[in-house]
């Protein structure tokens, strides 16, 4: 009886809090000030950053922004062993794309919805940590860049990339700008121009991620202890520290809008990018699990032959 009541009460809370449609792609559990968020896009074989994940993330962000919780740390991980977050749904750039989400964010002038999502993550009042055990490319990597900290396993399924240049695009949510700060200008040009995958060992060496662990257990233990420690401290310390680090190491909002988002907006309309996007959607069987999605960094060259 009591368990039944609790279940209903929780369901009612999440329904009344949801501003955008709920698709159940994020599973959250709370423990001692730490919220664990598992990204589980059941609409996609490759944990696509599609409208379902975006909608659920926007609702989650609204809850976390409220400051009325005892959550101090948010840990993002993935239910998909091959993909942390594959990339954006490429159909977003193609005619006929339909979504219940607004094109521009209603709260941030001139910022598109997915870019606003990531911007908002950079300034949540909690510390944010990504636990990476699969691929994250394009906006998947930009999501990682928007988190405060990134930890991975050395598993071969960890491959990170900004793949936009191969589409005739640029990283539209500012991923390359964040990377230039993390790994330096020359390495950013190398990886982003070439749309190359980086493995976890190299990513750790360059500073793309904080640290790589040999096993999933070591990764999870380390992050659990780190999160629990940070969660002991007063919220003001986290919020104040984040504001300062953001002030010196986050690209400014107008730079992201004008030099990332608005450029991708123009490039996405070009015939060369439209043609490549259609080719990609066809070659991946509409972004199904397969060789091209798994090994894009290696396989993409074949799309140009
Ligand atoms: C939460 O706190 C931050 C930092 O103090 C503040 O900027 C923001 O407006 C607060 N959010 C709400 C919904 O009160
Ligand atoms: C976790 O905490 C958030 C923020 O307080 C709350 O909205 C959510 O309902 C909690 N989730 C669970 C499963 O308790
Ligand atoms: C992801 O969601 C599906 C459908 O609800 C569920 O069967 C599966 O166990 C979930 N995976 C994880 C790792 O939570
Ligand atoms: C981003 O945060 C602003 C408040 O700063 C809010 O108005 C807007 O709805 C948020 N958008 C998303 C997509 O989270
Ligand atoms: C939004 O874009 C328009 C057109 O480029 C510009 O005139 C306006 O100043 C922008 N608003 C903000 C808040 O950046
Ligand atoms: C691809 O799948 C999405 C749903 O995930 C669907 O809306 C779209 O129409 C599909 N596109 C093609 C070309 O099959």
3-state secondary structure of 185: helix
Query: For residue 78, what pLDDT is reported?
Result: 98
Answer for the pair 299, 291: CB distance below 8 angstroms, yes or no.
Answer: yes
Cβ(71) – ligand 2 distance below 6 Å: yes
Query: For residue 16, what pLDDT is reported?
Result: 52
- The CATH class, in words, for 19-304 is alpha beta
Q: What is the pLDDT of residues 216-233, one digit of tens each?
A: 999 999 999 999 999 999
Task: For residue 196, give the nearest of 152, 172, 171, 165 by alpha carbon.
Answer: 165
CA distances 189 to 154, 176, 177, Å, are 24, 8, 10
Cβ(110) – ligand 5 distance below 6 Å: yes
Cβ(79) – ligand 3 distance below 6 Å: yes
Query: For residue 186, what pLDDT is reported?
Result: 98
Q: What is the pLDDT of residues 91-149, one digit of tens each?
A: 999 999 999 999 999 999 999 999 999 999 999 999 999 999 999 999 999 999 999 99
b/e code 116-151 from CB counts within 10 Å (16+ = b):
bbbbbbbebbbbbbbbbbbbbbbbbbbbbbbbbbbb
For residue 65, the CA-to-ligand 1 centroid distance in Å is: 7
Query: For residue 69, what pLDDT is reported?
Result: 81
Could you state, in order of their start, the residue ranges of all structural domains in the chain? 19-304
For residue 264, the CA-to-ligand 2 centroid distance in Å is: 36
Q: What is the pLDDT of residues 172-216, one digit of tens each?
A: 999 999 999 999 999 999 999 999 999 999 999 999 999 999 999
Q: Which atom of ligand 2 is nearest to the CA of 29?
A: 13
**pTM of the prediction?**
0.94
Q: What is the pLDDT of residues 253-289, one digit of tens each?
A: 999 999 999 999 999 999 999 999 999 999 999 999 9
Percent helix, strand and coil across the chain, each rounded to 5?
50, 15, 35
Place of tokens 């730079």: 255
Give strand ranges (E) for 106-253.
Answer: 127-132, 135-137, 149-153, 159-161, 198-199, 211-213
Q: What is the pLDDT of residues 14-52, one digit of tens each?
A: 445 589 999 999 999 999 999 999 999 999 999 999 999
The DSSP-derived string for 95-111 is TT---SS-SB-SSSTT-
Query: Which pLDDT band holds residue 2 (cuts at 50, 70, 90)?
Result: very low
Q: Which atom of ligand 5 is nearest to the CA of 110?
A: 1
For residue 286, the CA-to-ligand 6 centroid distance in Å is: 6
CA distances 35 to 29, 75, 128, 286, Å, are 6, 6, 10, 33
Q: What is the pLDDT of residues 38-87, one digit of tens each?
A: 999 999 999 999 999 999 999 999 999 998 789 999 999 999 999 999 99
For residue 40, the CA-to-ligand 3 centroid distance in Å is: 7
């Amino acid at each position: 009886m009591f368990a039944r009541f609790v279940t209903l009460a929780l369901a009612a809370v999440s329904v009344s809090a949801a501003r955008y449609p709920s698709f159940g792609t994020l599973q959250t559990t709370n423990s001692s000030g730490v919220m664990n968020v598992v990204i589980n896009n059941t609409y996609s074989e490759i944990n696509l950053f599609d409208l379902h994940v975006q909608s659920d993330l926007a609702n989650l962000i609204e809850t976390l922004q409220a400051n009325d919780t005892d959550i101090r740390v948010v840990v993002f991980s993935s239910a998909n062993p091959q993909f942390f977050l594959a990339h954006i749904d490429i159909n977003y750039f193609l005619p006929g794309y339909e979504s219940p989400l607004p094109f521009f964010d209603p709260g941030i002038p001139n910022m598109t919805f997915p870019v606003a999502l990531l911007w908002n993550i950079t300034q949540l009042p909690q510390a944010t940590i990504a636990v990476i055990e699969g691929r994250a490319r394009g906006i998947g990597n930009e999501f990682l860049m928007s988190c405060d900290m990134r930890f991975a396993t050395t598993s071969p399924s960890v491959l990170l990339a900004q793949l936009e240049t191969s589409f005739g695009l640029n990283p539209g949510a500012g991923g390359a700008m964040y990377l230039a700060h993390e790994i330096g200008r020359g390495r950013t040009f190398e990886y982003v121009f070439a749309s190359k995958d980086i493995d976890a060992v190299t990513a750790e060496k360059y500073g793309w991620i904080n640290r790589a662990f040999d096993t999933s257990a070591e990764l999870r233990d380390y992050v659990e202890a780190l999160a629990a420690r940070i969660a002991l401290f007063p919220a003001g310390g986290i919020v104040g520290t984040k504001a300062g680090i953001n002030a010196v190491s986050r690209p400014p909002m107008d730079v992201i809008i004008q030099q990332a988002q608005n450029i991708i907006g123009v490039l996405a309309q070009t015939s060369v990018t439209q043609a490549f996007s259609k080719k990609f959607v066809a070659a991946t069987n509409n972004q199904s699990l397969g060789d091209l999605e798994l090994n894009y960094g290696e396989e993409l060259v074949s799309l140009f032959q």
